């Protein structure tokens, strides 16, 4: 059942225009409060004065609001028995705040997510259930505030894509109730909420499974495919669980195996490995149906042929560097948000250092989005080296159902206690110590700068496919006020007494 709720994604609006949160152009958009520079004012301190009057209204007098003389001052929040909720949404470990996470109060029970990507196209609202009564999205620094929340115990949901956590909070009336970080982080396991279903193929050069472990995803969620964890591991030439793992071929050639997952990750194996047309077609079908695909470094071999070759100037290059510096590309709204997030949350104030970059992709083409890049130093005539890109599929659909991301650098460098690829190059080399299985072989260090980039990207990748060149939008829930400049999205439209909105304040409804 398609829910009529706020959508974080960009969706066509009926009769109204979408605009960024908090989406106000006048007091009608703020329930009577002031709208300054697109931001709704806080709840006013105005109170209701109730005075007792005698006579005139009937035998024994009565109670009336307003008038003069003495009376009882009752704050609006006391009359309505409401308070506010504030907090900061983070990824599961609680170390990095996340923007554009939907925060809402459900009115009915949440529905289970379907298995795999097939139902995720075309609507951005499909995965939002619970019929929210109040909702917002987190800011660039992860903060949020919900006002006019009924006092007492209430359910609160944090959701981005198929990451979802539902908690119960106590709201005190006439108070701003600040939630702790342990409450507002996304879930670490199925015991705490919902996580996307990942298929991760372990590669020797880029142990991305260690990054997911740093995110505080519970070790019990990393399993073989037949054990049902949320991060199901296959192997190319990377880490193994105790007892081994099935090969990547099982993921790519078993009928409909890919369609059991939300996100498929192919980190670098440390050497070029050509991909044939059958393998590319399998991944192409997966993302066309709404799946998410991510690969790094030597993973450019996925992009050289159909169906992805027209997304950018793919120019496989034998050169690679130990380090380089790139710029966040902030010329489009979502890129500007990403650039601010790097500064304010990730602590990367300007140009970004990279470890282990390659130079396999030049300028992007069509609707492909470049997130990190720099004028080429080693790429010949192409004016751009693109270090990070995303695109939606099918490629001829404008904004399609699936999403693909590529990083032309190793994401999790030096993440292993005992490297799989030998680091000694000059004989005689010391004996290689025994290598423990995953997860014992992962270093539990803090996030590197490029791991922070991938954290941002993984959660962004989880959201519905949309035009990343447009500003992320929060859309009004049913019965909220709207106007021609503050729209309803998804299946909702602006109505007034059943007619299309004429420009004045009206309500969102089917």
Instruction: Give me the residue spans of the domains in the chain.
Output: 27-34+78-191+473-509, 198-425+434-461
Q: Sign of the CA dihedral 145, 146, 151, 153?
A: negative
Task: Please give the Cα distance from 4 to 510 (Å, whole number).
Answer: 8
The pLDDT of residue 96 is: 97
Q: Please, how many CA atoms are within 13 Å of residue 21, restricted to the half-sphere of its CB?
A: 26
CB atoms within 10 A of CB 214: 23
In this structure, the strands spanning 82-88 and 176-178 are: parallel
The pLDDT of residue 465 is: 66
Task: Please give the Cα distance from 341 to 489 (Å, whole number).
Answer: 26
CB atoms within 10 A of CB 79: 12
The pLDDT of residue 112 is: 93
CA distance to 92, 121, 335, 363, per residue, from 311 (Å): 32, 21, 18, 9
Contacts of 428 (CB under 8 A, 6+ apart): none
Q: Which of 202, 217, 196 is nearest to 262 (CA)?
A: 196
The pLDDT of residue 395 is: 83
Pick the CATH number of 27-34+78-191+473-509 from 3.65.10.10, 1.10.1040.10, 2.60.40.10, 1.10.10.10: 2.60.40.10
Tokens 């989880």 label which residue?
462
Strand partners, 214: none
402-407, strands of its sheet edge to edge: 222-223, 231-235, 198-202, 263-266, 292-296, 402-407, 385-393, 369-374, 323-328, 352-355
Task: Please give the Cα distance from 435 to 17 (Å, whole number).
Answer: 57
Cα 490–chain centre separation: 18
Task: Please give the Cα distance from 265 to 130 (Å, whole number).
Answer: 30
Task: Please give the Cα distance from 257 to 183 (Å, whole number).
Answer: 35
The pLDDT of residue 498 is: 47
What CATH number belongs to 198-425+434-461?
3.40.50.880
Below-70 pLDDT ranges, the chain: 1-34, 38, 40-71, 118-126, 318, 375-382, 397-399, 422-425, 465-510
Range list of H helices, 427-497: 449-461
Indicate the SS3 state at residue 454: helix
The pLDDT of residue 359 is: 87
CB atoms within 10 A of CB 5: 24
State the DSSP code for 38. Answer: T
Q: Which of 266, 226, 228, 230 is nearest to 248 (CA)?
A: 266
Task: Please give the Cα distance from 465 to 369 (Å, whole number).
Answer: 13
31-85, pLDDT tens digit by residue? 555 677 767 665 544 455 555 444 444 444 444 444 445 567 777 788 778 999 9
């Amino acid at each position: 059942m398609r829910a009529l709720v706020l959508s974080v994604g960009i969706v066509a609006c009926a009769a109204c225009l979408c605009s960024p949160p908090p989406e106000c152009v006048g007091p009608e958009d703020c329930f009577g409060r002031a709208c300054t520079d697109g931001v709704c004012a806080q709840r006013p301190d105005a109170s209701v004065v109730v005075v007792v009057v005698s006579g005139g209204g009937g035998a024994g007098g009565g109670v009336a609001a307003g008038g003069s003389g003495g009376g009882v001052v009752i704050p609006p929040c006391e009359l309505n028995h409401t308070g506010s909720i504030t907090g900061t949404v983070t990824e599961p470990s609680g170390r990095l705040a996340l923007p554009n996470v939907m925060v809402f109060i459900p009115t009915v029970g949440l529905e289970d997510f379907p298995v795999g990507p097939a139902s995720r196209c075309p609507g951005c609202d499909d995965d939002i259930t619970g019929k929210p009564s109040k909702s917002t999205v987190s800011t660039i620094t992860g903060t949020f505030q919900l006002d006019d929340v009924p006092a007492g115990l209430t359910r609160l949901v944090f959701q981005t894509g198929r990451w979802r956590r539902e908690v119960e909070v106590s709201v005190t009336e006439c108070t701003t109730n600040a939630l702790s970080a342990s409450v507002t982080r996304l879930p670490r396991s199925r015991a705490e909420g919902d996580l996307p279903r990942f298929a991760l193929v372990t590669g020797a050069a880029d142990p991305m499974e260690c990054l997911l472990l740093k995110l505080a995803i519970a070790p019990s969620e990393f399993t073989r495919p037949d054990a049902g964890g949320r991060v199901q591991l296959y192997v190319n030439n990377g880490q193994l669980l105790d007892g081994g793992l099935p090969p990547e071929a099982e993921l790519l050639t078993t009928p409909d195996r890919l369609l059991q997952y939300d996100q498929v990750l192919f980190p670098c194996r440390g050497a070029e490995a050509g991909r044939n047309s059958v393998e590319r077609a399998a991944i192409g079908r997966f993302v066309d149906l709404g799946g998410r695909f991510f690969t790094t470094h030597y993973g450019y071999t996925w992009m050289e042929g159909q169906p992805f070759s027209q997304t950018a100037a793919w120019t496989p290059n034998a050169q690679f560097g130990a380090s380089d510096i790139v710029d966040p590309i902030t010329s489009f709204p979502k890129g500007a948000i990403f650039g601010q997030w790097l500064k304010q949350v990730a602590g990367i104030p300007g140009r970004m250092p990279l470890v282990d970059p390659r130079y396999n992709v030049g300028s992007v083409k069509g609707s492909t989005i470049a997130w990190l890049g720099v004028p080429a130093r080693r790429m010949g005539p192409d004016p751009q080296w693109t270090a990070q890109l995303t695109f939606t599929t099918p490629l001829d659909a404008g904004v399609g159902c699936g999403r693909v991301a590529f990083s032309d650098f190793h994401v999790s460098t030096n993440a292993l206690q005992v490297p799989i690829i030998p680091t000694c190059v000059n004989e005689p080399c010391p004996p290689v110590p025994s290598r423990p299985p995953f997860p014992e072989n992962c270093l539990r260090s803090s996030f590197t700068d490029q791991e922070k980039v991938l954290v941002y990207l993984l959660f962004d990748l989880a959201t519905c496919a949309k035009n990343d060149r447009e500003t992320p939008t929060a859309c009004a829930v049913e019965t909220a006020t709207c106007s021609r400049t503050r729209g309803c999205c998804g299946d909702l439209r602006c109505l007034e007494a059943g007619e299309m909105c004429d420009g004045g304040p009206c309500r969102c409804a089917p």
